């Protein structure tokens, strides 16, 4: 029983990894791979957002700004370094992460002087400030006219595949970072900040440094994903790469799956993004998909405020220990919840 | 240049009044309920569209139409509070941001479906007529709008500081639990406060719709400005919101003369950053220890 419970997650992870890697072979239709590219992009974005929003409880609605910074870094880098189409631009993705992280440092330093509600507002304001700067710095960014990137000369059937793997690698990297943080002392400090910041400070958690580090890591990961996105769509417009909807989407996905859990944002992205893409494809012109989107959001928050993963975990823990559901919902069972095997049945 | 600056300053004060009105609802809602209504911008746009429909269909003047739109929006606000805000029991402050954001998206979607993404404008006669003032001409709508804002803000202050219900609102703002203990129906107060917030959005929307071309997307720009205003004023401070709106708009209009119009909105954010560096709690805010 215990061995099965210990190995089940590893086997599941292996299976998921195999499916993810073989996906372009299993389903070679370019339209499907396009959906997979965007889904994998949001797996990465939601997981990266979760490092700040989920672990520390500081809700940032402005992460779309960092997405845009990464996109512009890649677009400008390719243009100024004279990198041609092909695999070359992918080499600039780490640079996009680095520069976004550098930008996030002062932004986070200022924004994190505030807490809770004010922090949310500041992140929104910063996002619009970045968008405005991108529109007005015409000499650098091309203003509202945007930037164009070179279009790779890959065949239509193959075109999406390199981008899928790029997104897959970044999503895996993000999940790995998130996993590492979650089980490190740093991650423990972040969770302490979420639960009670003043007490965390009192017991010696360097709250300011920890929050800033989480913010910068989260932003840098989002920036790298933004860089790949820019190359995928081959143009960078201020309204598209710094879109409030991108910012709120990653938040919704993290909330739906389970805030502050490792698998929650992944699950949320896998559920929401394909649905969003098909809605935008079918109803995009009428903007009715926004109504649907807001409906899902409201239902999730009102009926399932803790997300799918924590709710299901409680349910299964009830089954494992008592042979039935019904364990009272704890306040914040992240992955730190004792493994069900260790729970003493009453 | 000097006369241009003076003109910009006067215009800034007048439009600042409109922003003060829109922001007052936002800061009142925060003060009473400790939630940030990110949907306030979308509700202002909704108010603008309501005025637009009344004006285009029945030729009702937007200012007169407020007699209809303000009560209607008040009721919408009460219903929204009952259905979407009240059920939030834990972690209200963060969850409410997301709920109201979702409401904003929903409103944007519905408005986009009904009215399309085309820009609209309320073209009333006082949108073009002007009066001379200090040697330059001021469009009448700014004067009317400012007068309306003074009237509504005045009424709001009277209700808050001269009535028993106002005392209940202020008590809830000071300490929700203590207010509940002395028998104030804080849930009822919250619903009414949310309704008042919506009513101010309706009024702000009417003036906004006359002075600015709008489409369902306009709320993003609006809400980021309104949020900046209430942070500068200090969250929950009505006086702060009014003072901050005037400071912001005057600075913005003066900056658009001195620097360039396209950078004027940037001034908002520069001021925001400066405030956060010097005084994170805003002009009239108090530093609160949260989650003790």
Q: Give per-residue pLDDT as tens, B4-47.
A: 888 888 888 888 988 999 999 898 888 888 888 889 999 999 99
Supply the pLDDT for residue A338: 39
Mean pLDDT of chain A: 84
Contact A251 B109 (CB under 8 A): no
Confidence of residue A252 (pLDDT cuts 50, 70, 90): confident
Contact A126 B269 (CB under 8 A): yes
**Token code pair at residue B144:** 């009317």
A120, A197, A293 member nearest B105 (Cβ): A293
Q: CA of A266 to nearest chain B CA: how many angstroms apart? A: 19
Listed in sequence order, the DSSP H helices in chain A are 2-26, 30-56, 63-81, 93-111, 116-136, 138-141, 160-182, 185-195, 197-202, 207-233, 238-241, 244-257, 264-283, 288-303, 308-322
Supply the pLDDT for residue A36: 92
Largest CA distance in chain A: 69
Q: What residues contact residue B280 under an 8 Å CB cut-off, 6+ apart?
A: A113, A114, A118, B287
Supply the pLDDT for residue A341: 36
B150 within domain boundaries: yes
What DSSP designation does A345 have? P
Q: Which residues in chain B have their CB less than 8 angstroms from residue A251's CB?
A: 98
A114, A125, A297 member nearest B102 (Cβ): A297
Q: What residues contact residue B278 under an 8 Å CB cut-off, 6+ apart?
A: none
Q: What residues contact residue A295 under an 8 Å CB cut-off, 6+ apart?
A: B106
Contact A297 B105 (CB under 8 A): yes
In A, minimum Cα distance to B275 occurs at A110
Residue A327 has pLDDT above 60, yes or no: no
Best mean pLDDT range from A132-141, A170-179, A332-341, B131-140: A170-179
Lowest average pLDDT, out of A208-222, B87-101, B214-228, goes to: B87-101
Contact B266 A61 (CB under 8 A): no
Separation of alpha carbons A254 and A266, rounded Å: 8
Supply the pLDDT for residue A304: 80
* Mutation target among A107, A124, A299 for the B interface, most CBs of B within 10 A: A124
Residue B214 backbone dihedrals phi, psi, to 5 degrees: -135, 155
A129, A197, A294 member nearest B109 (Cβ): A294
What DSSP designation does B256 have? H
Size of interface A-B (CB pairs under 8 A): 139
Separation of alpha carbons A142 and A235, rounded Å: 11
Over range A325-340, report the average pLDDT: 43
Over range A134-156, report the average pLDDT: 83
A116, A129, A302 member nearest B93 (Cβ): A116
B284 within domain boundaries: no
Supply the pLDDT for residue A322: 60
Lowest average pLDDT, out of A126-140, A163-177, B70-84, goes to: A126-140
Give the domain range for residue B219: 2-278
Residue B234 has pLDDT above 90, yes or no: no
- At CB < 8 A and 24+ separation, what contacts does B175-180 make? B176/B34
Contact A136 B266 (CB under 8 A): yes
Over range A245-260, report the average pLDDT: 89
CB atoms within 10 A of CB A310: 24
Q: What is the ipTM of this complex?
A: 0.82
- The structural domain count of chain B equals 1
Residue A335 has pLDDT above 50, yes or no: no
Supply the pLDDT for residue B42: 93
CATH architecture of the domain formed by A27-289: Orthogonal Bundle (1.10)
Contact A124 B95 (CB under 8 A): no
* Mutation target among A294, A302, A305 for the B interface, most CBs of B within 10 A: A294
Separation of alpha carbons B17 and B147, rounded Å: 9
**Token code pair at residue A148:** 């164009």
Q: Which residues in chain B have their CB less than 8 angstroms from residue A118's CB?
A: 231, 235, 280
Q: How far is CA A13 from CA A93, A166, A222, A255, in A?
A: 26, 19, 23, 22
Supply the pLDDT for residue A144: 79
- Of B211, B145, B126, B121, the closest CA to residue B13 belongs to B145
Supply the pLDDT for residue B285: 74
Which letter, b or e, does each residue of A219-254 get, where b requires 16 or more Cβ atoms within 10 Å of its Cβ? bbbbbbbbbbbbbbebbbbbeebbbbebbbbbbbbb
Supply the pLDDT for residue A323: 55
Give A254-266 pLDDT, tens digit per residue.
988 988 899 999 9
Residue B292 has pLDDT above 60, yes or no: no
Give B194-228 pLDDT, tens digit per residue.
999 999 999 999 989 888 888 888 888 888 889 88
B287 within domain boundaries: no
Q: CA of B223 to nearest chain A CA: how many angstroms apart? A: 9
Contact B265 A113 (CB under 8 A): no
Over range B281-285, report the average pLDDT: 79
CB atoms within 10 A of CB B198: 30
What DSSP designation does B233 have? H
Contact B263 A251 (CB under 8 A): no
Separation of alpha carbons B122 and B143, rounded Å: 16
Q: Which residues in chain A have their CB less than 8 angstroms from residue B100's CB?
A: none
Q: Which residues in chain A have their CB less than 8 angstroms from residue B220's CB?
A: 128, 244
Separation of alpha carbons B48 and B59, rounded Å: 15
A124, A198, A252 member nearest B292 (Cβ): A198
Separation of alpha carbons A11 and A14, rounded Å: 5
Residue B290 has pLDDT above 70, yes or no: no
B113 near A CB under 8 A: yes
When comparing pLDDT for B114 and A82, which is higher? B114
Residue B174 has pLDDT above 50, yes or no: yes
* Rg for chain B, CA atoms, rounded: 19
Over range B83-98, report the average pLDDT: 82
Q: Which residues in chain A have their CB less than 8 angstroms from residue B227's CB?
A: 121, 124-125
Confidence of residue A346 (pLDDT cuts 50, 70, 90): very low
DSSP lists the bridge partners of residue A147 as A236
What DSSP designation does A263 have? S
Q: What residues contact residue B150 under an 8 Å CB cut-off, 6+ apart?
A: B17
**Token code pair at residue A294:** 């807001």
Over range B263-292, report the average pLDDT: 72
Over range B66-95, report the average pLDDT: 88
Contact B97 A61 (CB under 8 A): yes
Q: How far is CA B109 from CA A293, B54, B105, B114, B266, in A?
A: 9, 21, 6, 9, 28
DSSP lists the bridge partners of residue B131 as B138
* Mutation target among B27, B98, B288 for the A interface, most CBs of A within 10 A: B98
Tell how strand A147-148 and strand A235-236 pair up.
Answer: antiparallel
B286 within domain boundaries: no
Percentage of residues of chain A with pLDDT beyond 70:
90
* B145 burial level (CB within 10 Å; 0-12, 13-18, 19+): buried
Residue A336 has pLDDT above 50, yes or no: no
Mean pLDDT of chain B: 86
DSSP lists the bridge partners of residue B138 as B131
Place of tokens 């968008």: A131
Over range A27-46, report the average pLDDT: 91
When comparing pLDDT for A178 and B3, which is higher? A178
Give me the residues of B, 203-242, that contact A with CB < 8 A. 216, 220-221, 223-224, 227-228, 230-231, 235
Supply the pLDDT for residue A38: 93
When comparing pLDDT for B287 and A71, which is higher? A71
When comparing pLDDT for A212 and A281, which is higher? A212
* Mutation target among A290, A293, A295, A329 for the B interface, most CBs of B within 10 A: A290
| Domain residue ranges of chain A, discontinuous segments joined by + | 27-289
B61 within domain boundaries: yes
Contact B266 A302 (CB under 8 A): no
Separation of alpha carbons A147 and A138, rounded Å: 10
B290 within domain boundaries: no
Percentage of residues of chain B with pLDDT beyond 90:
22
CATH code of the domain covering residue B208? 1.10.3470
Supply the pLDDT for residue B98: 83
Indicate the Cα dihedral angle A138, A141, A143, A149, nearest 10°: 140
B141 within domain boundaries: yes
**Token code pair at residue B186:** 């804080």
Over range A14-30, report the average pLDDT: 86
B43 within domain boundaries: yes
Q: How far is CA B166 from CA A43, A135, B257, in A?
A: 48, 45, 41
């Amino acid at each position: 029983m215990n061995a099965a419970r210990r190995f089940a997650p590893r086997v599941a992870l292996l299976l998921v990894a195999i499916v993810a890697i073989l996906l372009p072979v299993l389903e070679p239709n370019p339209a499907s791979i396009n959906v997979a590219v965007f889904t994998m992009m949001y797996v990465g974005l939601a997981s990266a957002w979760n490092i700040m929003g989920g672990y520390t409880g500081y809700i940032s609605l402005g992460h779309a700004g960092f997405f845009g910074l990464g996109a512009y870094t890649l677009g400008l880098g390719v243009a100024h370094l004279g990198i041609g189409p092909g695999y070359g631009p992918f080499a600039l993705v780490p640079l996009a992460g680095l520069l976004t992280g550098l930008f996030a440092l002062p932004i986070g330093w200022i924004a994190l002087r505030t807490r809770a509600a004010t922090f949310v507002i500041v992140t929104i304001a910063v996002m619009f400030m970045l968008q405005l700067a991108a529109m007005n710095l015409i000499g650098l960014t091309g203003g509202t006219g945007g930037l164009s990137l070179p279009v790779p000369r890959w065949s239509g059937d193959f075109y999406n595949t390199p981008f899928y793997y790029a997104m897959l690698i970044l999503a895996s990297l993000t999940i790995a970072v998130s996993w590492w943080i979650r089980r490190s002392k740093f991650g423990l400090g972040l969770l302490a900040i979420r639960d009670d910041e003043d007490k965390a400070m009192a017991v010696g958690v360097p709250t300011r440094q920890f929050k800033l580090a989480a913010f910068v890591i989260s932003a840098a990961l989002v920036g790298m994903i933004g860089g790949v996105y820019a190359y995928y769509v081959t143009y960078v417009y201020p309204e598209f790469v710094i879109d409030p909807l991108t910012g709120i989407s990653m938040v919704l996905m993290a909330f739906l799956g389970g805030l502050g859990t490792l698998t929650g944002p992944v699950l949320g992205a896998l559920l929401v993004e394909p649905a969003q893409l098909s809605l935008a494809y079918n109803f995009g012109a009428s903007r009715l998909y926004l109504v649907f989107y807001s409906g899902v959001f409201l239902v999730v928050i009102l009926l399932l405020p803790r997300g799918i993963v924590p709710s299901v975990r409680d349910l299964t823990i009830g089954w494992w220990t008592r042979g039935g559901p019904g364990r009272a919902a704890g306040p914040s069972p992240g992955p730190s919840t004792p493994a069900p095997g260790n729970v003493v049945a009453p | 240049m000097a006369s241009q600056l003076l003109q910009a300053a006067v215009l800034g004060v007048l439009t600042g009044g409109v922003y003060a009105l829109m922001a007052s609802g936002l800061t009142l809602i925060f003060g009473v309920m400790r939630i940030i209504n990110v949907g306030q911008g979308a509700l202002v746009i909704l108010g603008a569209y309501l005025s637009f429909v009344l004006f285009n269909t029945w030729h009702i003047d937007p200012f007169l139409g407020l007699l209809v739109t303000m009560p209607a929006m008040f009721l919408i606000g009460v219903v929204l509070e009952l259905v979407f805000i009240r059920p939030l029991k834990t972690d209200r402050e963060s969850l409410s941001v997301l709920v109201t954001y979702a409401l904003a998206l929903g409103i944007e979607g519905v408005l986009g479906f009904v009215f399309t993404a085309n820009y609209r404008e309320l073209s009333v006669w006082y949108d073009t007529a002007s009066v001379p003032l200090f040697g330059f001409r001021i469009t009448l709508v700014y004067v009317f709008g400012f007068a309306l804002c003074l009237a509504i803000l005045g009424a709001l202050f009277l209700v808050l500081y001269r009535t028993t219900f106002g005392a209940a609102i202020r008590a809830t703002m000071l300490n929700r639990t203590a207010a509940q203990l002395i028998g104030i129906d804080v849930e009822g107060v919250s619903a009414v406060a949310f309704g008042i917030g919506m009513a101010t959005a309706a009024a702000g929307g009417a003036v906004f719709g006359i002075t600015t071309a709008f489409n369902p997307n306009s709320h993003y720009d609006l809400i980021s400005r309104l949020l900046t205003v209430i942070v500068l004023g200090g969250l929950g401070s009505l006086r702060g919101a009014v003072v901050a709106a005037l400071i912001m708009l005057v600075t913005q209009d003066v900056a658009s003369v001195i620097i360039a119009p396209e950078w004027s909105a940037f001034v908002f954010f520069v001021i925001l950053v400066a405030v956060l560096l010097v005084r994170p709690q805003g002009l009239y805010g108090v530093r609160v220890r949260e989650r003790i």
